Amino acid sequence: MTVSNTIHLKNKIIPEIIINEVGTALSYYPELANTNIEFKMKPSLNKSFMKAQPKLSSFFKSKGKREYIILISQTFDIDGIRLPLSDIPKDILIGWLGHELGHIMDYKNRSNFNLIGFGIRYFFSQNYIREAERLADTYAITHGMEKYILVTKRFILNNGSLPQIYKDRIKRLYLSPDEILLLVKELESK
């Protein structure tokens, strides 16, 4: 990624190719306006399409000064299925970004020591991965992104060309469309 195709906004570094989608997703998280986040394209990521994490260079700063990075694969590449970023529908990309921003909301509330424990548990425990992924979905939904999260889940779960093993992983670790609708209903009744 050259500097000419990267846009620098207040506290954000965003590849030009996804500036509109990132802008839409960020609009649902006004509390991230002053948070330093870099959206960085990678040729591929192991076992995922996007990944949010604290930047190692800022890890020992106070919670309020911590910086984050969202790594984005240039292709959605799962078990031999290759879909270039440019072929992913915009609403689905916004949903994925909203989910990753949900992770950042979670990270912002954790101390450095707690983040270390989070990383260890995430690496070793499927139950903890499930808890963390469902929490990121919940952040996105409570921030009004249910439409995008739903369309993203349906894209994955109803896509006949995606491997069943990947769909099963999504079903096991993330909120289902029915759980999303139930959460929305609960939020509306409050």
End-to-end CA distance of the chain: 45
pLDDT given at position 171: 93
Write out pLDDT tens, residues 69-90.
Answer: 999 988 877 766 778 888 889 9
- For CA atoms 148, 150, 151, 156, give the dihedral sign: positive
If the chain, 190 residues long, is cut into consecutive pieces of 10 residues, what is the mean pLDDT of each piece? 56 93 95 95 82 90 90 80 85 96 95 90 92 96 96 89 86 93 90
The answer to whether the beta carbons of residues 15 and 5 sit under 8 Å apart is yes
Write out pLDDT tens, residues 96-113.
Answer: 999 999 999 999 999 889
Domain range for 141 is 3-189
CA proximity to 101, closest of 139, 63, 45, 141: 139
For residue 160, count other CB atoms closer than 10 A to its CB: 4
pLDDT given at position 144: 96
> What's the number of CA atoms in the CB half-sphere (13 Å) around residue 4?
0
The answer to whether the beta carbons of residues 31 and 105 sit under 8 Å apart is yes
Split into its structural domains, the chain has a count of 1
Report d(CA 91, CA 125) in Å as an integer: 31
pLDDT given at position 79: 66
pLDDT given at position 128: 93
**Phi, psi (5° rounding) for residue 73?**
-75, 140
């959605």: which residue's tokens?
76
**Burial environment of residue 56 by CB neighbours within 10 A (0 to 12, 13 to 18, 19 or more):** exposed
Q: What is the pTM of this model?
A: 0.91
